[in-house]
Amino acid sequence: MTGLRLRDLPTPALLLDRAALLRNLARLREAVRRHGVALRPHLKTAKSVEVAHLAAPGGGPITVSTLAEAHHFLAAGFRDQIYAVGIAPQKLDAVAALNARGAAVKVITDDLEVARAIAAHPGPLAALIEIDVGEGRGGVRPDDERLPALAAALGARLAGVLGHAGHSYAAFDAEAAAAVAETERAGLVRAAERLRALGHAVPVVSLGSSPTAQHARSLKGVTEVRAGVYMFGDLLQAQLGVGSVADIALSVLASVIGRRPERNAVLIDAGALALSTDRSTAAALKDFGYGLVVGEDGAPAFGEAIVTRVWQEHGLVEAAAPLPFDRLPVGARVRVLPNHACLTAAAHAQYHVVDGAEDRVVAVWPRVNFW
């Protein structure tokens, strides 16, 4: 308990609904558990020790996206980490230093020169080969001719293979998501089998994204699943079948700072900085602009009012149906549900934790932002 009431929070402020968070954690944990594989939550969305303890109870394993997260979560007792962004060689000293202090932070690469640098580094290191399972971001393809050379270069420091089906963010029904998940699984397993046929052990076969973790029908041959944004959910994930709009745990509390009855709009004090300029839902089934506006208690209150435009500290709220201006004086407070939780959360230093519609802040949880 903080003694703070929601109504007393200065705006804009980042809210995290603990009840929704716990529902989301349980839902994905169960989806992964039925496959009998490990869940390695990705902390890039939450960047919070308190969330990490809920999502990865018992101290891990976890996934991180920055060295700042790696340090922060190690200090909180999370030793078993994968740093799931292709490593630049000048960062190997920092990772080896963490491992020398008791961490087991694995790095990833798809580059032969980097693999050689990992193998030659004097400190304790282990690496996964990044596999491109169809998104076309990082990684070598499962059948790429470079795969054996990468494994040979890593030698005893090869810990396994890792992929991420980021293209699942365009799979708007369970059938399509399941198909992407199978491509992800099959690609990773194919890469692992090629390496095993060459005599490598390949203990870790790691894949995941929130949609594929939720919708995968088989994870045969996989050892662990990574996912992150499922913890909070957002307006894109809800359209990808990862929770629903009612399950979105993250929101931005904002105040009305101007009224435009003649154009059926209000201005709020949450703009590009408080909401982010992410437009993920522009390519989704339903476009929510920069976010969906709901009541101060988190319940739907204004039809489908959305933030249609942002400036640094201003957001313009518009709606197809007439806005209830009697309930929207300057000073009135609303919540904005995010398009993309990872980016909206990153705009804030901490979470004000609430429980459903109750008017109290039950905790303040800091984030480990920056690098």
Using CB under 8 A as the criterion, which residues of the chain lie in contact with its own copies when the complex forms?
A: 10-13, 44, 65-67, 85-91, 94, 109-111, 113-114, 136-138, 166, 255-259, 263, 267, 269, 272-274, 276-279, 311-314, 316, 329-331, 342-343, 346-349, 369-371
- CB nearer to its own copies: give 121 or 279: 279
Q: Considering the complex, what minimum distance in angstroms separates the CB of residue 30 from its own copies? A: 26
Measured from the CB atom, the residue of 45 and 223 that comes closer to its own copies is 45
CB under 8 Å to 53, separation ≥6 — which residues? 76
SS (HEC) of the chain: CCCCCHHHCCCCEEEEEHHHHHHHHHHHHHHHHCCCCEECCECCCCCCHHHHHHHCCCCCCEEECCHHHHHHHHHCCCCEEEECCCCCHHHHHHHHHHHHCCCEEEEEECCHHHHHHHHHCCCCCCEEEEECCCCCCCCECCCCCCHHHHHHHHHHHEEEEEECCHHHHHCCCHHHHHHHHHHHHHHHHHHHHHHHHCCCCCCEEEECCHHHHHHCCCCCCCCEECCCHHHCCCCCHHHHCCCCHHHCCEEEEEEEEEEEHHHCEEEECCCHHHHCCCCHHHHCCCCCECCEEEECCCCCCCCCCEEEEECCCCEEEECCCCCCHHHCCCCCEEEEECCCHHHHHCCCCEEEEECCCCCCCCEEEECCCCC
Q: Which is nearer to its own copies, 112 or 363 (CB)?
A: 112
- Of 19 and 94, nearer to its own copies (C-beta) is 94
Minimal distance in Å, beta carbon 102 to its own copies? 22
Give 45 or 99: the residue with its C-beta nearer to its own copies: 45
d(CA 354, CA 359): 8
Q: How far is the CB of 240 from its own copies (least distance, A)?
A: 16
Residue 66 or 264 with smaller CB distance to its own copies: 66
CB 164 within 8 A of CB 134: no
| Minimum distance from residue 303 beta carbon to its own copies (Å) | 23
Q: How far is the CB of 263 from its own copies (least distance, A)?
A: 8
- Identity of the residue numbered 68: A
Nearer to its own copies, 137 or 220 (CB): 137
Give the end-to-end CA distance of the chain in Å, rounded to a whole number: 30
Could you identify the residue written with the tokens 């008791």? 102
* Least distance (Å) between residue 19 CB and its own copies: 25
Q: Which is nearer to its own copies, 23 or 314 (CB)?
A: 314
Residue 127, token pair as written in the block = 């690496």
> In the bound complex, what is the minimum distance in angstroms from residue 174's beta carbon to its own copies?
24
Residue 22 or 273 with smaller CB distance to its own copies: 273
